[in-house]
Amino acid sequence: MGKPTGFLEYPRRGNPSQSPLERIRHFNEFRSRMGREDRRLQGARCMECGVPFCQSAAVLGGMVSGCPLNNLVPEWNDLVYTGNFDHALARLLKTNNFPEFTGRVCPALCEAACTCGLHGDPVSVKENELGIIEDAWERGLMQPRPPKNRTGKRVAVVGSGPSGLACADQLNRFGHSVTVLEREDRPGGLLMYGIPNMKLDKGILRRRLDLMETEGVIFRAGVDVGKSCAPEELLRDYDAVVLCCGAAKPRDLAVPGRELPGVWFAVDFLKETTRSLVNSGLADGAFPSAKGKHVVIVGGGDTGNDCVGTCIRHGCESVIQLEMMPKAPDQRTENNPWPEWPRICKTDYGQEESIALFGRDPRIYQTTVTELLPGEDGALGAIRTVGLDKALKPVPGTEQEMPCELLLIAAGFLGPQDYVPEAFGLERTPRSCVSTAPGRYATNVPGIFTAGDMHRGQSLVVWAIHEGRGAAREVSAYLMGYPL
């Protein structure tokens, strides 16, 4: 696929990006796309490797390497190289409902498994994917494709994040009538409010939601199933219900002073910032502002990095990220060979911006918070920390105190909020997720299915789409009496 010698002839090139000090002035997406000819040369780097790990989703060393959607990566890389963007689009959409989302926010498990990455730079698969779908939108190829026939079956999908949208999109294509219920004021779930606008512009999401509505999917916002909407109502009005409510129960920080004003869960902080941005361009001030404050973020993952970038755009005085684990190596170690997922230190956009603005990486490793201290106004004013050894035990003599008027907890999630599974009487796993048979999506209650983070635990957008597609197949088989 591609050009057999392309990886030798053409260096990897990424999409152009605004400099950190320029992009922190706004909340817009800061990466542009290269032209068709440059993109074609990036497709040429796909090296006809014979065993395309990029599309395998193989579990190696306890972690997945390759695309969970089994995207036909070598095929559309070759089609990009030969200039056949129309056919590349068809092959891309065969496995991925929303490449405009994954092309922006996915960590690119495909590239980590690319054979070119064994001794050089991997193919720019994620950007090629984004190039294909955005080219299609620009040329008017993304037109409504409503099903020609309807089955007469009605399905309610609860939750409009990536798993719910993928499930709804597939069920609608199968000919079922689908209604998506969202408790927030706008559909989109995590994609709408949980992911900052500079990573995923909400116009991109709205564009896709509009297309789905034109194809026949009904969206109802402001419906909180399990509270304002009873399960009995859904079971009466629909032939099947799919719960895609996410893993929205955050892991808390159990330390003295936790009750002080100025402490937020990271996702709530991001949601309120994005909501205000969408509603008024932040003019309403209806969000917890980091302006002029010393900010500490507990947690070093993607959510913590998003908080770094958001706080900088607010105009924070300083920002620190605390991580309990030691710093990962900068290069693969011998016990982490290709094509395993590379367990290496990665510096993301928020950390790049902190380095450019404050002259330092915001991350402090092997450190945790032990106490929150009030300031003169009674709100949070400082924190105490302690260093940790490799066994994550406190190291005497490493205690410190640092100023902090805003503390953001980005320590992960513990599964779905309890009220929805409890309302439906669903069985749970030891991790509190909704229980199903292995590899299946049907719950212990007939006609009730589940998918996404609610089913598998906190994960990636690409896994959520995978789950939504799988649940749609199982629901359709349940409704029609035969597999697809």
Q: Give the pLDDT confidence of 335-360 residue by residue, as tens digits.
A: 999 999 999 999 999 999 999 999 99
The reply to whether 147 falls in a domain is no
Burial class (CB in 10 A: 0-12, 13-18, 19+), 22: exposed
Both 308 and 392 in one domain: the answer is yes
The reply to whether 148 falls in a domain is no
Q: Are 295 and 311 in contact (CB under 8 A)?
A: yes
* CATH number for 10: 1.10.1060.10
411-444 tens-digit pLDDT:
999 999 999 999 999 999 999 999 999 999 999 9
Angle, in degrees to the nearest 10, between helices 73-81 and 36-44: 130
Q: What is the pLDDT of residue 1?
A: 66
3-state secondary structure of 440: coil
The reply to whether 228 falls in a domain is yes
296-316 tens-digit pLDDT:
999 989 999 999 999 999 999
Both 124 and 166 in one domain: the answer is no
3-state secondary structure of 350: helix
Nearest-angstrom CA–CA distance, 231 and 402: 48
Both 279 and 400 in one domain: the answer is yes
Q: Which two tokens stand for residue 127?
A: 């950007």
Both 36 and 23 in one domain: the answer is yes
Both 337 and 375 in one domain: the answer is yes
Both 216 and 278 in one domain: the answer is no
Q: Which residue has the tokens 């993301």?
A: 348
Q: Which two tokens stand for residue 122?
A: 């991997």
Nearest-angstrom CA–CA distance, 175 and 307: 41
pTM to 2 decimal places: 0.96
The reply to whether 20 falls in a domain is yes
Q: What is the pLDDT of residue 48?
A: 82
Q: DSSP per residue over 29-93, as a string?
A: --B----HHHHHHHHHT----SS-GGGT-EEETTEEES-TT---HHHHHHHHHTT-HHHHHHHHH
Q: What is the pLDDT of residue 482?
A: 84
The reply to whether 144 falls in a domain is no
Q: What is the pLDDT of residue 308?
A: 98
Both 389 and 426 in one domain: the answer is no
Q: What are the angstrom distances between the C-alpha of 106 and each of 5, 99, 189, 461?
A: 28, 10, 16, 7
Both 307 and 363 in one domain: the answer is yes
Q: Which segments in the chain show pLDDT lower than 50?
A: none
Pick the last residue of a domain from 79, 110, 138.
138
The reply to whether 257 falls in a domain is no
Both 134 and 176 in one domain: the answer is no
The reply to whether 143 falls in a domain is no
* CATH number for 322: 3.50.50.60
Pick the last residue of a domain from 82, 112, 138.
138
The reply to whether 149 falls in a domain is no
Both 238 and 275 in one domain: the answer is no
**Residue 193 sits in which domain range?**
154-248+414-480
Pick the last residue of a domain from 348, 381, 409.
409
Q: What is the pLDDT of residue 300?
A: 85
Burial class (CB in 10 A: 0-12, 13-18, 19+), 69: buried
User: Per the structure, how many domains does the chain have?
Assistant: 3
Both 450 and 379 in one domain: the answer is no
Both 331 and 466 in one domain: the answer is no
